[in-house]
């Protein structure tokens, strides 16, 4: 049986039998792959550390008829700080689930791999993780080929001058004259549009100190949720987990 080496990030896992796990890995060479980590649920297993969620490792993998098997792994970055913080963990799980849901199996995309790896590093230090999540959503969709049109009306091509609407199904903004072409189009403020444009065009570094009002964050969360749901056509389980964490933080601060 053939062997191959690849760098990869652990996006998820599920138990198999009494001691094994099936890992979902994201690799720059092979895209999203599934592989069995045998005996990894036993103490002192040599690949235990590398099988942890978000771990970034160099894997030696044996090709199988139905499912590949992990033979060895060497950790490059454990991202343990994400797993140690409940809020970071919640957002990390969401980022990983969104990537899994929007990426076909074995679809190689080096740009997407570098982007996701960079996002994990930033998740360990970014103060406002809600804002980071909105930036991640916009950029991930763009890299996946679903970049929203936020500079001109998707119906007539004109730049909106007054009332602005966003159409999740049409994939971008609508001007006042065209907004009735989609009865589900959502009205957004000019501040929300500017923030949307910056998130799409600027780098993480330039966006790190972006100042966004609570109202704008809520609008962005709403329209991006609708847009992503339309593109991937499925409900993400981790969205509720983030809401639960926010609720706990509010209660604990009272």
How far is 107 from 122, CA to CA, in rounded Å?
25
- Percent of the chain having pLDDT more than 70? 97
CB-based contact 87:241 (threshold 8 Å)? no
How far is 163 from 146, CA to CA, in rounded Å?
24
How far is 35 from 86, CA to CA, in rounded Å?
27
Q: Could you tell me whether strands 68-77 and 31-37 are parallel, antiparallel, or unpaired per DSSP bridges? A: parallel
**What's the alpha-carbon Rg for the chain, to the nearest Å?**
20
- Based on the domain organization, do 149 and 192 belong to the same domain? yes
- Based on the domain organization, do 53 and 158 belong to the same domain? no
How far is 227 from 134, CA to CA, in rounded Å?
12
- Residue owning tokens 């950029």: 139
How far is 251 from 151, CA to CA, in rounded Å?
40
Examine the pLDDT at 141 and tell me if it is beyond 80: yes
- Based on the domain organization, do 247 and 229 belong to the same domain? yes
What pLDDT does 105 receive?
Answer: 84
What pLDDT does 254 receive?
Answer: 38
- Angle formed by the axes of helices 110-123 and 86-102, to 10°? 170
The average confidence (pLDDT) of the chain is 93
Q: How many domains does the chain have?
A: 2
Q: What is the dihedral of CA 158, 138, 30, 54, to 10 degrees?
A: 180
- Based on the domain organization, do 125 and 169 belong to the same domain? yes
What pLDDT does 252 receive?
Answer: 52
- Based on the domain organization, do 245 and 157 belong to the same domain? yes
Residue 69 belongs to what domain range?
Answer: 3-78
**What CATH number is given to the structural domain containing 12?**
2.40.50.140
Structure tokens at 4: 């191959």
- Rounded mean pLDDT of 200-229? 95
Beta strands in 17-150 (DSSP E): 20-27, 31-37, 56-62, 68-77
Query: Which of 46, 78, 110 delimits the end of a domain?
Result: 78
How far is 153 from 206, CA to CA, in rounded Å?
26
Q: Distance of alpha carbon 12 from its chain centroid, rounded? A: 13
- Based on the domain organization, do 107 and 69 belong to the same domain? no
- Based on the domain organization, do 111 and 57 belong to the same domain? no
- Based on the domain organization, do 55 and 123 belong to the same domain? no
- Residue owning tokens 């991640």: 136
How far is 30 from 70, CA to CA, in rounded Å?
15
DSSP, collapsed to helix, strand or coil, labels residue 247 as helix
- Rounded mean pLDDT of 187-197? 96
- Rounded mean pLDDT of 173-197? 95
């Amino acid at each position: 049986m053939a062997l191959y080496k690849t760098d990869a990030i652990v996006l998820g896992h599920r138990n198999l039998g009494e001691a094994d796990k099936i890992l979902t890995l994201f690799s720059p060479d092979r895209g999203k792959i599934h592989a069995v980590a045998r005996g990894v649920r036993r103490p002192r297993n040599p690949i235990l550390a590398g099988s942890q969620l978000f771990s970034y490792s160099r894997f030696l993998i044996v090709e199988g008829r139905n499912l590949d098997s992990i033979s060895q792994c060497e950790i490059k970055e454990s991202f343990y700080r994400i797993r140690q913080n409940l809020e970071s963990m919640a957002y990390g799980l969401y980022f990983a689930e969104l990537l899994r849901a929007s990426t076909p199996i074995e679809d190689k995309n080096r740009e997407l791999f570098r982007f996701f790896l960079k996002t994990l590093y930033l998740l360990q230090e970014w103060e406002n993780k809600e804002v980071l999540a909105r930036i991640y959503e916009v950029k991930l969709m763009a890299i996946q080929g679903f970049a929203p049109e936020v500079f001109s009306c998707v119906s007539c091509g004109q730049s909106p001058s007054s009332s602005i609407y966003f159409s999740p199904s049409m994939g971008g903004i609508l001007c006042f004259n065209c907004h009735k072409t989609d009865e589900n189009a959502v009205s957004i403020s000019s501040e929300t549009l500017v923030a949307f444009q910056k998130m799409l065009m600027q780098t993480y570094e330039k966006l790190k100190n972006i100042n966004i009002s609570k109202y704008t964050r809520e609008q962005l969360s709403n329209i991006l949720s609708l847009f992503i749901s339309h593109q991937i056509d499925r409900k993400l389980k981790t969205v509720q987990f983030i809401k639960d964490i926010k609720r706990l933080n509010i209660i604990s601060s009272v």
